[in-house]
C-alpha cells in the first residue's frame, strides 16, 4: 500500500549502539522480576510452602477441624506475604528495566523516525512522545467500542503525528478488566430474595424491643441494616484503597491489550465494527440481538474477509464499503498475522480508525522468563515498529480524501 508519507525507521542495531546499555548491570538490577538470587529463592520457597500447607490443612480438616484451621491459617499467611512481597519487588524490577532500557529505547526510536513526503521530497522528523505511565483518555476508549472496560490499567503510551495523521498507541492490561455484569453486581441493590432475608432479620430485632412492629418499620430497619453493612469505616476504606492500588500495580506485569487509534481523514456518520463473537482478552463482543438494538447489521464484505472468529457490523453498508477497502483489509490481515493473535477488533467511529489486539504476554516490558536484555529490547522494538507502520498505511487516506 503506497503512502503519502514514507516512514524512515532507524535499525535496531543503530539504536542499541547509541544506548550503550550495561546488560550485566541491568540483568542484576532486574533479577527480582525473575525471582533470582537469595531473596527470590526465599520467596519461591515461601509460596511453595504456603500452597503445600494449604492443601495439607484441607486434608487435615476432615480429620480434625481445629488441626486443619491451625495449618491452613499460617499457610495462607506465608503464601500471601510471599506473593505480596514478590509482586512488589518484581514491579520495582520492571520499573528499573523501563527506566534503563525501555524508555530510552522508545525515545531513541521515535526521535530517529522521519517522514518523507512522496510528492515534494521534503523530510521531517516524526512528532511523537512516549509516556511510560500515561493513559489514553477514557472517552476515546469508549468511543472506539472495542473494549468493555475503559478503566483497565494502562502504560506505555505513544502519541504523535505523521504527516497529517495523528495517532495514539497504548498498552492496556486486559486482566485488570471487569465485565459490565461484574461491575453491575458490585453496585446493585439486593434481590427480592435477599430483601426478604434482611426483613426477616430486621423483624426479629424489632420484636426484641417489645414495640408494636409494623411493615413500614420492618422495611425501614432492613434498609438501614443493609446500607450500614455496605458502609466502610475509614480504616476499611483505607485498606481497600491500598489493596486496589497494589492490585493495579500487579496488573502492570500482566499481558497486553494493545490499543491503537488514528485519524481517518474523513467525516463519516456511520459506525462500523469488526468484533469477536465472544469477549476475549478485554475485547468487547457483538451478538445479533445487541447489534439490532444499536441499529447495526451484518456487514457484507465483497472478495475479502476479516480473521476467523470476527464478525463485521455497520450502520451504513454503503459508507462502510467506502471506508473499508480491500487494500485496507489486506493490510489489517497482514498486521494481525504478524502480531500472532486471534484476539483482534477494529472499528470506524468518530472519524477515527481503532484497532485492539490482545496477547498473552506483556508486550512492551522485560520477559520475566528470559534475562537476555538485548533480546527483550529488540522484541519491544519490533512490536512498536509493527504498530507505527500502521500510521504510514493510514496516512494514505490524505491522498484519497480530506476533511476540508
**Cell numbers found for residue 101:** 532500557
Low-confidence ranges of the chain (pLDDT < 50): 1-3, 396, 398-404
pTM exceeding 0.75: yes
- Give the chain's length: 404
The span from the CA of 69 to the CA of 53, in Å, is: 11
Cβ-contact 57, 71 below 8 angstroms: yes
Res 4: pLDDT? 55
> How many angstroms separate the CA atoms of 99 and 253, rounded?
15
> ∠ at Cα 351 (347, 384), nearest 5°?
60
Is the CB of residue 221 less than 8 Å from the CB of residue 206?
yes
Q: 241-246: long-range contacts at Cβ-Cβ below 8 A with a sequence spacing of 24 or more?
A: 246/84, 246/87, 246/88
CA 52, 57, 59 angle in degrees (round to 5)? 100
Q: How far apart are CA 172 and CA 256, in angstroms?
A: 6
Cα distances (Å, whole numbers) of residue 333 to 76, 188, 326, 344, 383: 47, 41, 10, 10, 16
**∠ CA 190-219-207, rounded to 5°:** 120
Residue with cell 497529517: 164
Cα separation values, 267 from 359, 394, 402, Å: 32, 15, 8
Q: How far apart are CA 155 and CA 363, in angstroms?
A: 11
Quote the pLDDT of residue 401.
39
Looking at residue 399, what is its pLDDT?
A: 42
**Exposed/middle/buried for residue 308 (C-beta within 10 Å: 0-12, 13-18, 19+):** exposed
Q: How far apart are CA 237 and CA 239, in angstroms?
A: 5
Torsion of CA 79, 83, 86, 90, to 10 degrees: 160
Host H or E run for residue 156: strand 153-162
- CA dist 328 → 1, 29, 203, 264, 282 (Å): 8, 44, 66, 12, 24
CA dihedral 398, 401, 403, 404 (to 10 degrees): 100
Task: Judge contact between 296 and 271, C-beta under 8 A.
Answer: yes
What the block records as the C-alpha cell of 110 is: 521515535
Burial of residue 36 (number of CB atoms within 10 Å: 0-12, 13-18, 19+):
middle
pLDDT at 398: 45
Residue 2 pLDDT: 43
Q: Is the dihedral of CA 11, 12, 16, 17 positive or negative?
A: negative
Angle of CA points 16, 94, 281, to nearest 5°: 100
Residue with cell 503445600: 52
Burial class (CB in 10 A: 0-12, 13-18, 19+), 161: middle
Amino acid at each position: 500500500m503506497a503512502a503519502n508519507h514514507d516512514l524512515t525507521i532507524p535499525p535496531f542495531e543503530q539504536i542499541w549502539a547509541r544506548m550503550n546499555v550495561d546488560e550485566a548491570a541491568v540483568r542484576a538490577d532486574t533479577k527480582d522480576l525473575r525471582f533470582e538470587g537469595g531473596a527470590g529463592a526465599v520467596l519461591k520457597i515461601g509460596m511453595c510452602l504456603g500452597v503445600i500447607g494449604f492443601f495439607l490443612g484441607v486434608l487435615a480438616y476432615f480429620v480434625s477441624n481445629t488441626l486443619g484451621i491451625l495449618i491452613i491459617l499460617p499457610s495462607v499467611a506465608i503464601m500471601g506475604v510471599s506473593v505480596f512481597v514478590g509482586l512488589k519487588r518484581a514491579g520495582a524490577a520492571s520499573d528499573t528495566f523501563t527506566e534503563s532500557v525501555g524508555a530510552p529505547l522508545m525515545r531513541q526510536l521515535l526521535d530517529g523516525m522521519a517522514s518523507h513526503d512522496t510528492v515534494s521530497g521534503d523530510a521531517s522528523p516524526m512528532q511523537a512522545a512516549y509516556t511510560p505511565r500515561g493513559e489514553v483518555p477514557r472517552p476515546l476508549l469508549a468511543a472506539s467500542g472495542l473494549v468493555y472496560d475503559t478503566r483497565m490499567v494502562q502504560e506505555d503510551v505513544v502519541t504523535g503525528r505523521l504527516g497529517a495523521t495523528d495517532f495514539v498507541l497504548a498498552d492496556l492490561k486486559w486482566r485488570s478488566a471487569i465485565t459490565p455484569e461484574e461491575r453491575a453486581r458490585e453496585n446493585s441493590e439486593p434481590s427480592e430474595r435477599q430483601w426478604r432475608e434482611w426483613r426477616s432479620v430486621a423483624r426479629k430485632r424489632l420484636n426484641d424491643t417489645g414495640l408494636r412492629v409494623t411493615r413500614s418499620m420492618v422495611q425501614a430497619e432492613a434498609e438501614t441494616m443493609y446500607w450500614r453493612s455496605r458502609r466502610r469505616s475509614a480504616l476499611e476504606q483505607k485498606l481497600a484503597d491500598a489493596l486496589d492500588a497494589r492490585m493495579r500495580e500487579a496488573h502492570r506485569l500482566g499481558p497486553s491489550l494493545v490499543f491503537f487509534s488514528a485519524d481517518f481523514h474523513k467525516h463519516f456518520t456511520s459506525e462500523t465494527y469488526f468484533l469477536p463473537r465472544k469477549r476475549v482478552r478485554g475485547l468487547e463482543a457483538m451478538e445479533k440481538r445487541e447489534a439490532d438494538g444499536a441499529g447495526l447489521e451484518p456487514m457484507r464484505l465483497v472478495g475479502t474477509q476479516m480473521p476467523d472468529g470476527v464478525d463485521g457490523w455497520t450502520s451504513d453498508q454503503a459508507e462502510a464499503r467506502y471506508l473499508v477497502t480491500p487494500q485496507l483489509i489486506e493490510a489489517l490481515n497482514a498486521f494481525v498475522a504478524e502480531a500472532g493473535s486471534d484476539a483482534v477488533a477494529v472499528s470506524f467511529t468518530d472519524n477515527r480508525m481503532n484497532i485492539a489486539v490482545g496477547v498473552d504476554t506483556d508486550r512492551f516490558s522485560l520477559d520475566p522468563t528470559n534475562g537476555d536484555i538485548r533480546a527483550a529490547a529488540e522484541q519491544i522494538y519490533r512490536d512498536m515498529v509493527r504498530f507505527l507502520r500502521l500510521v504510514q498505511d493510514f496516512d494514505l487516506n490524505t491522498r484519497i480524501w480530506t476533511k476540508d
